[in-house]
């Protein structure tokens, strides 16, 4: 199992693509594979959508609802960051996997938003708060203006899209190393 210093070393000085799962990301091609590290969220596999999404998955940020062996095997990430907002334990089949880091939530974000942050916001938070990245580019984030492309769901009641959007945009204004690729 990975520890925080492992995650920090992995991201240090790297140009990172964080690829969200908004359906709007599929409308055009993106230079995702040109980044040093490609991070994906939940079950957002690029297979069959490589023109828009690129091909690589170096890091998979995943919540407990889609943490399944077939998803991890298909995406074949070097690192899996399992985000558990309610303190659940990892499933036994994943506990011994050396690629895994278990993240136990972001209580300050939950307090600020009044709802659980999405896995995408948790990924943004982890990268921007815990690592010394060189650049971070967001793709496929439209805060549920379009559906999640791999589920067809518009958004979950357990999240607060406007609050998440505001949090990210506030951080982009403060940090010139972070950009967002707008598709809508």
pTM: 0.94
The pLDDT of 131-140, averaged and rounded, is: 97
pLDDT, tens digit (0-9, with 9 covering 90-100), for 53-101: 999 999 999 987 777 888 889 999 999 998 776 667 788 888 888 999 9
- What is the Cβ-side half-sphere exposure of residue 144, based on CA atoms within 13 angstroms? 17
Sequence-distant (6+) residues with CB within 8 A of 7 are 79, 81, 101, 126, 130, 131
The Cα–Cα gap between 51 and 66 comes to 24
pLDDT, tens digit (0-9, with 9 covering 90-100), for 8-28: 999 999 999 999 999 999 999
* CATH number of this structure's domain 4-180: 3.90.1480.20
The answer on pLDDT for 184 being more than 60 is no
Q: In the beta sheet, which residues pair with residue 137?
A: 17, 179
């Amino acid at each position: 199992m990975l520890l925080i210093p492992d995650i920090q070393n992995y991201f240090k000085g790297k140009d990172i693509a964080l690829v969200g799962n908004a359906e709007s990301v599929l409308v055009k091609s993106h230079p995702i594979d040109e980044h040093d590290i490609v991070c994906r969220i939940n079950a957002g596999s690029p297979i069959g959508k490589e023109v828009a999404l690129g091909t690589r998955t170096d890091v998979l940020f995943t919540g407990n609802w889609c943490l399944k062996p077939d998803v991890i095997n298909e995406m074949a990430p070097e690192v899996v960051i399992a985000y558990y907002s309610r303190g659940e334990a990892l499933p036994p089949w994943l506990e011994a996997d050396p690629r895994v880091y278990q993240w136990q939530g972001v209580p300050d974000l939950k307090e600020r938003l009044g709802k659980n942050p999405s896995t995408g916001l948790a990924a943004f938070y982890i990268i921007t708060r815990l690592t010394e990245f060189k650049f971070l580019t967001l793709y496929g984030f439209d805060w549920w203006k379009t559906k999640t492309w791999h589920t067809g769901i518009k958004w979950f009641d357990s999240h607060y899209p406007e609050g998440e959007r505001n949090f990210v945009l506030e951080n982009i204004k403060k940090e010139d190393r972070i950009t967002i690729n707008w598709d809508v």
